[in-house]
Amino acid sequence: MNNPQDKPNKSEDIHDKIDRGVRQAIYKAIKRHALLGEEIAVWRDGKVLILPASQALEEYHKSQNQKEN
């Protein structure tokens, strides 16, 4: 019989995969915009803010480094 305690581990695995995929897609989109010299719209403090993609890429890297530490 299946152990009900096994299910949370499986759902954690799929959630981790989804999270990783979303982060990769965000990174690719920001990087593409930076290469094309385009801007990125971000949501910050309840407002839409338009940033150069190069700045958004720097901020993305900083936020990922903070999560790792």
Tens of pLDDT, residue by residue over 12-56, are 788 999 999 999 999 999 999 999 999 999 999 999 999 999 999
Query: Which residues touch 53 (CB under 8 Å, ≥6 apart)?
Result: 30, 31, 33, 34, 36, 37, 38, 39, 40
Residue 67 or 2, more confident: 67
Greater pLDDT, 8 or 19: 19
Q: Where are the chain's structural domains?
A: 13-68
**Banded pLDDT at 10 (limits 50, 70, 90):** low
Residue 4 binned pLDDT confidence (cut-offs 50, 70, 90): very low
pLDDT at 25: 95
Burial of 51 (0-12, 13-18, 19+ CB in 10 A): middle
**Which residue carries 């581990």 as its tokens?**
9
Angle, CA of 32, 36 and 39, to the nearest 5°: 85
- DSSP structural state of residue 48: E
